[in-house]
Structure 1
Amino acid sequence: MRTTIFIAILWLISACQSKEIHSETQNKENTTSLIELNPKQIQTMGISLGKLEKRKVNEFVLANGMIDVPPESRAIITAKMEGFVKKCDLLVGDFVQKGQVLTILENLRLITLQEEYLNVKNQLIFLEQEFERQSRLEEAEAGTKKILQKTTADLQSAKIRLASLEKQLEFVGINPATLQARNISATFVVTAPISGYVKSVSIAKGQNVLAETVLFEIVSKEHLHIELQVFEKDITKIHKGQKVYFQSPNLGNETFEGKVFLIGQNFDTQSKTANIHVHFEEKDKPFLPGMYVNARIAVGESEFWAVPEGAIVQEGEENFIFYTTNQKHFYQTPIRIKNREASWIAIELLKEIPENALIVEKGAIYLQGAMQNEEE
């Protein structure tokens, strides 16, 4: 229906006499008179005019960023020693609990490590007994001081070696306190250091992995937040506690709410931005780390020139409004959109217009179409 009306309007305009006007006023204003209309054409196009007024509207700072997690909510799991992958059942997206076995690795050198630990442990028992015996002999002046000194040195060396082996076993996940000859094994398990979702799996069964090889990456969603980049000109407007409204292209047009929690104290000289840390509560939504977001930070109320939504037309990436000073000659002037609130749009005039100008509040789209038709 709208298309039919639009075509009819264009036909009517082309049938009437209209022409471009180039006047001294236009040169002074640095704008172009696009079209001359008579009252009948104005009525047919449904054009309504109004005075450009200032309104108090919420001022927003626009920013982009992404959903992220703090460092303690992200874990990269590596192999603590070389080994063959004996078991690996996890898939990307699986949820794992802290302490859950992620994979089992096998290394025959682990048998030697456990064997040495048990031997040193037994040797330590003998040396402690020998130390007590030599101490009693020394007290009774039945032994030699040299033998006691050697026994003492051997005992201390054994304690040091045992402590070192204990740490090596604990490092690969083996509990020295429960290690006995009957449960020596060539395998060791790799467990999850945090609860979260498996982001990546970098191994396969049978693969030989070296020490420090990355096996998995796990991300927890418990502390999701947003990292926004705010431009230099806007950073002084940002304060802790301000409301933030954001959307993610991945989640459609739904708007979510958060608050400014931290304001970064470092300024990126390349991007000319500072980092803003935002907390939000709606964690039940399918947010994922790395999701891109568009955000508006509410920084207070300000007075702006405001026009109805239907007053603005777009050409490429630029926005314009139309005005007239005599309800006959219509001019186009560029604007910058500052904010949208209800059916009103706050704008910034990029060029001055006369004080007595009336704005085309309704029918601007038809006026634009008529202008384009005349240019053709």
Structure 2
Amino acid sequence: MNWPAQEEQPGQLGTGETPVVVYAASQQPFPIVVEALGTATANESVNITAQRAQTVTKVLFEDGDLVKANQPLLELSNRAETARLNELNINLTEARRQLQRIQGLAERSAASQQLLDEQDSKVEAILAQREVAKAILQELVVSAPFGGRLGVRQVSVGSLVRPGDIVTTLDDLSLMKVDFSISETHFASIQDGQSVVSTSIAYPGEIFVGKITNIDSRIDPRTRSIQVRAQIPNLELKLRPGMLLQMNLEKRVLDALVVPEGAIVPEGDRQFVFVVNGDNKAIKTQVEIGERKPGWVQIVSGIEVGQTVIVQGTLRVRDGSGVKVLDVQGDV
């Protein structure tokens, strides 16, 4: 907007008219939005740890790798356990051979039922021992419990790891959880499955859309707020655990008479606008305002649809002073 170069007293510019920009008050859909701050967490998050005390023989991942569920990440020394399994396999083969021999003798009444049962029990015992040995061997391979992105590697080949030692971290970032609190006054306006729009200062101008998945069963009596959880798809992996997100929930949509926020002139606890009448005079008019959203205000009473209010130049005019309309705006 090009204003005259020389500024004079209100109502005394050139022809005595103050240049202003006005807005034609209009009835518009006016979404009422609940705003909150939330912290992002991974859909699933875990510290990868060893289950057995043993030396690392192979590291099968790099920092930050994307991995699939059950993908091996680390191999621990398994020589003793492998030898034990081989021994059990040999013992099992021999025990089964002896069982078959005794079964043949028993069929000819040359061996007692007790001897047959004892040999059968030996076979079952070796089978159980072999399953234990296999389980131990599986525990000597550290795998990813689910798909996701790995963190920083904490071990090297030759390291001695013990149960509980952290090998790395794993986060499923394909879906982010965001926990936030809202006032109990908005409780009746939210529900499971409701859409939420979030933004992050890390990505100016970009929005991330998700939905509410859980509303806490209790309201905190100290803060009079309720905890809400939303899930946001994160297929591009832009969001990370710990990020602060601005959460916006559409509470309801009003069919409201609205004007730009710049039209409002507060005086104490009262609110005014300058209405431009047919004689190009600025008429100071008291209004009652309702809901707000960034840049816009709902007018409950005081003016009607189509009336033009000053949005630029309010500080230059007085009640009843003449104005020159430079521009008429009218779209929210």
Do Structure 1 and Structure 2 share a fold, with TM-score over 0.5? yes
Aligned partners of 1:239 and 1:224: how far apart in 2? 19
Contact 2:265–2:273 (CA under 8 A) maintained in structure 1: no
Within the alignment, does 1:234 sit opposite 2:202 as a pair?
A: no
Question: What residue is the counterpart of 1:363 in the other structure?
Answer: 313
Q: Deviations over 1:36-79 (max 9, x none)?
A: xx7449x78756789999865122122222444433xx443211
1:48-197 aligned within 5 A: 56-71=29-44, 74-88=45-59, 90-106=61-77, 110-173=78-141, 190-197=142-149
TM-score scaled by length of structure 1: 0.62
1:305-320 aligned within 5 A: 306-311=258-263
Aligned partners of 1:295 and 1:361: how far apart in 2? 30
Contact 1:67–1:289 (CA under 8 A) maintained in structure 2: yes
Structure 2 unaligned spans of 5+? 276-280, 318-332
1:275 to 211, 219, 228: 228
Contact 1:200–1:218 (CA under 8 A) maintained in structure 2: no
Contact 2:88–2:129 (CA under 8 A) maintained in structure 1: yes
Superposition CA RMSD, Å: 4.5
Distance 1:294 1:348, change over 3 A: farther
Question: What residue is the counterpart of 2:174 in the other structure?
Answer: 222
Aligned partners of 1:365 and 1:226: how far apart in 2? 44
Secondary structure, in 3 states, of the residue corresponding to 2:106?
helix
Contact 1:266–1:275 (CA under 8 A) maintained in structure 2: no
TM-superposed CA distance for 1:337, in Å, is 6.5
Contact 1:79–1:213 (CA under 8 A) maintained in structure 2: yes
Higher relative CO (Cα under 8 Å, sequence separation at least 6) belongs to 2
TM-superposed CA distance for 1:334, in Å, is 12
Distance 1:4 1:228, change over 3 A: farther
Contact 1:322–1:360 (CA under 8 A) maintained in structure 2: no
Aligned partners of 2:17 and 2:54: how far apart in 1? 82
Contact 1:228–1:278 (CA under 8 A) maintained in structure 2: no
Q: Which one-letter code corresponds to 2:226 in the other structure?
A: T
Aligned partners of 1:112 and 1:255: how far apart in 2? 55
TM-score scaled by length of structure 2: 0.69
Q: Which moved more, 1:297-306 or 1:162-171?
A: 297-306
Q: Deviations over 1:155-207 (max 9, x none)?
A: 3322222222222223334xxxxxxxxxxxxxxxx333433322343334443
TM-superposed CA distance for 1:360, in Å, is 6.2
Contact 2:148–2:172 (CA under 8 A) maintained in structure 1: yes
Structure 1 unaligned spans of 5+? 13-37, 174-189, 368-376
Aligned partners of 1:303 and 1:5: how far apart in 2? 41
Secondary structure, in 3 states, of the residue corresponding to 1:84?
strand
